[in-house]
């Protein structure tokens, strides 16, 4: 049982079971676990919690992560690479955390976030007008 | 500003802006709005709230809906058809609402849910062991 995130925190969820469509030997580390490990090895931005999750069910376009927390929109991103994307993810997570609603201004949004958003889900307590981006 | 769902309620979120990849004239009703209207015209299962959302950002595989509520996993489903799927969605939503964790038993799960899950996100307060389906 993991700890529960504080409401104001941002949570970066990482699917650690992701095979990214590869045929992974049973005793090998999966790409999703490698992504999680790479993130856990780095200093995390203030206010960010890293959470391992088993299967975010975006298996055809993994690795997959999600950002959520507070009154922000939840975002799910796919096609994440465990070798080249950890720093980008932490930068994007910090930018997300800096917003009140989860909508990173388009010009500041990592290119990968722009092109690989799988879905987003509104906050339970919407505090902002609905926007189309 | 919509009302806030009660914690125990299940919310069926419908992207009302979805064009499903079609070129829709500006004054025509979009497929997403037609889906919402078809659902709103039907009696809703007990405990279910219907919510219109502008853009769940699964635009390439719309129409798109999400189910969430209480301590359940949130599920996002794509490729929803506004003409043939409303009854299936309400049946699936009722089955989802009947669970404590959002995991509809596989044999009871609508076929469309099995094949068109875009992503799922764990509850903030996990109350069940993590499962792979």
Q: What is the pLDDT of residues B28-64, one digit of tens each?
A: 889 999 999 999 999 999 999 999 999 888 888 889 9
Identify whether the C-beta of residue B24 lies closer than 8 Å to the C-beta of residue B72. Answer: no
Chunked mean pLDDT (size 10), chain A, 133 residues: 62 91 79 95 96 88 93 95 96 96 96 95 67 49
CB neighbour list of residue A27: distance below 8 Å, 6 or more residues apart: none
Report the residue of A8, A119, A127 to disrupt the B interface, i.e. the one with the largest count of B CBs within 10 Å.
Answer: A119
Q: What angle do CA A94, A51, A43 make, to 5 degrees?
A: 45
Complex prediction ipTM: 0.84
The domains of chain B, with CATH numbers, are: 10-121 (3.40.30.10)
For residue B77, the surrounding DSSP H or E stretch is strand B74-77
Can you give the pTM of this predicted structure? Answer: 0.87
Dihedral sign from CA coordinates of A108, A114, A116, A121: positive
Helices (H), strands (E): how many in chain A? 3, 5
Q: What angle do CA B15, B17, B23 make, to 5 degrees?
A: 130
- CB-CB: which of A2, A56, A117 is closest to B121? A56
What is the number of other CB atoms lying within 10 angstroms of the CB of residue A56?
A: 29
* Burial category of B3 from C-beta neighbours within 10 Å (exposed 0-12, middle 13-18, buried 19 and up): exposed
Residue B27 forms contact with A (CB below 8 Å): no
Residue B30 forms contact with A (CB below 8 Å): no
């Amino acid at each position: 049982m993991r700890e529960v995130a504080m409401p104001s925190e941002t949570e970066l969820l990482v699917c650690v079971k992701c095979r990214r469509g590869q045929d992974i030997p049973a005793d090998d580390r999966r790409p999703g676990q490698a992504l999680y490990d790479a993130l856990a090895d780095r200093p995390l931005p203030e206010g960010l919690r890293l959470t391992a999750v088993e299967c975010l069910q975006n298996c055809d376009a993994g690795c997959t992560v999600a950002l959520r927390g507070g009154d922000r929109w939840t975002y799910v991103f796919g096609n994440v690479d465990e070798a080249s994307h950890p720093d980008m993810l932490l930068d994007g997570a910090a930018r997300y955390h800096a917003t009140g609603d989860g909508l990173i201004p388009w010009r500041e949004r990592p290119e990968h976030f722009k092109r690989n958003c799988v879905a987003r889900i509104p906050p339970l307590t919407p505090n902002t007008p609905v926007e189309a981006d």
